[in-house]
A and B are shown apart, each in its own frame.
Chain A
Amino acid sequence: AQSVTQLGSHVSVSEGALVLLRCNYSSSVPPYLFWYVQYPNQGLQLLLKYTSAATLVKGINGFEAEFKKSETSFHLTKPSAHMSDAAEYFCAVSGAYGNNRLAFGKGNQVVVIP
């Protein structure tokens, strides 16, 4: 079965500092990987996705992620954190079922410190 692991449920980052959220996947087939963001009392919004094209994927709001097959990783980064980045971030994987069933990680709650 596919799965993703996100370590560290809470991540604190200073405003202007690098945001790094780690995601490692487990999949028996070539994975499709997604990062979603959820602001308080809202639904999930796609930040970016990897579907076997370029390994460095650029998303919205200055985020990007790099697919590394050798490390089974898809870490999310943003060079400079902004207060508006405070939210819950979920990594997800699909690809083994043919029906777009997403397996989500447990999520990272990002807190931005002024």
Chain B
Amino acid sequence: DTEVTQTPKHLVMGMTNKKSLKCEQHMGHRAMYWYKQKAKKPPELMFVYSYEKLSINESVPSRFSPECPNSSLLNLHLHALQPEDSALYLCASSPRGEDTDTQYFGPGTRLTVL
């Protein structure tokens, strides 16, 4: 099973709302990633968790808050977002977080901020 699942598929939220995105994998992978992708652009790395510890934060605004409760689950908590945060949010996982690893991507959550 090489599947990464993400919920919800679509999310519409106002600028004062608090919401969360969820990502799950059951491949035994120890590295998990959040990416943001705008239309017609490549994914931009936001956060990396390695062995359930935050190892990379690409200077992401604090209105995005990641959480890794266990090795299979990754959350992204959203609060006070701006319309420019509207994008496709992709989660990925890889076996060990090493350079030769393949990253397996989920289908994404399409976020619209009104």
Contacts and interface: CB of A to CB of B under 8 A. Distances in A.
A24 interface: no
Interface string B90-111: 1010100111111111111010
A104 B102 contact: no
Contacts, number: 68
A44 B105 CA distance: 6
Interface string A34-49: 1010000111111001
Nearest to B45: A101
A44 B102 contact: no
Nearest to B100: A51
Contacts of A44: 43, 90, 92, 103, 105
Given A32-B100, A43-B107, A46-B102, A101 B42 contact: no
Nearest to A104: B42
A106 B94 CA distance: 22
Contact of B97 (A51, A99, A106): A99
Interface string A44-64: 111001010000000000000
A98 B99 contact: yes
Given A43-B105, A46-B104, A99-B99, 11 more contacts: A36-B105, A43-B6, A49-B102, A51-B100, A90-B43, A95-B99, A97-B99, A99-B31, A99-B50, A106-B42, A107-B42
